[in-house]
Amino acid sequence: MSEGLPDPRVVGHQYRKTARIWAVEMTREFTVNTLEGVMTGQVGDYLCMGVQGEMWPIKRDIFRSTYERVPKVRVNTAEEDRALRAKVQAVVKDYAEKHPGEITLPCEKHHRLPCRECDQEKRKELKAVE
Ligand SMILES: [Zn+2]
């Protein structure tokens, strides 16, 4: 059956899965509808779910040699993001005030750097003073 086929270990490369799935180690027997029909899992098997919500069981040994757990990443809420941005802006503004000419801040009106509109307004103001 495999005669005449190349040996992937000799002529191929190593690959590993990069797709992430969800999985839970089951503490009871279970039955699950998979793309390939109804399958059952035993205590200790993993119930897996792919990106499209499809589910399937995997034997514990195979699961553990195939997948590694991805650390939980906590994502900031929008409120935390705003607070963090405000904090950074305050630090940068403070630095700019203490070190004039060293850094240029984005304009406060449009948050642009450089800002043609605000530069033009400043130029007009300077002319008005002259
Ligand atoms: Zn501006």
pLDDT on residue 43? 97
In which region does residue 85 sit, left (phi positive, over 0), alpha (psi from -120 to 50) or beta (all else)?
A: alpha
CA 92 to chain centre: 27
Going from the Cα of 123 to the center of ligand 1, the distance in angstroms, rounded, reads: 13
**pLDDT tens per residue, the chain (130 residues)?**
688 999 989 999 988 877 889 999 999 999 999 999 999 999 999 999 998 899 999 999 999 999 989 888 888 889 999 999 999 989 988 998 899 888 888 888 888 888 899 888 888 888 887 7
Going from the Cα of 81 to the center of ligand 1, the distance in angstroms, rounded, reads: 23
**Residues 51, 57, 61, 62, Cα dihedral to 10°:** -50
Is-contact 45 29, C-beta < 8 A? no
Going from the Cα of 124 to the center of ligand 1, the distance in angstroms, rounded, reads: 14
Helix (H) or strand (E) holding 95: helix 78-98
pLDDT on residue 128? 84
pLDDT on residue 39? 97
pLDDT on residue 102? 87
Helix (H) or strand (E) holding 57: strand 55-58
Q: For residue 43, give the nearest of 53, 56, 57, 33 by alpha carbon.
A: 57
Going from the Cα of 105 to the center of ligand 1, the distance in angstroms, rounded, reads: 10
Going from the Cα of 80 to the center of ligand 1, the distance in angstroms, rounded, reads: 26
pTM strictly above 0.75: no
pLDDT on residue 108? 82
Going from the Cα of 15 to the center of ligand 1, the distance in angstroms, rounded, reads: 51
Phi/psi of residue 56, each to 5°? -160, 155
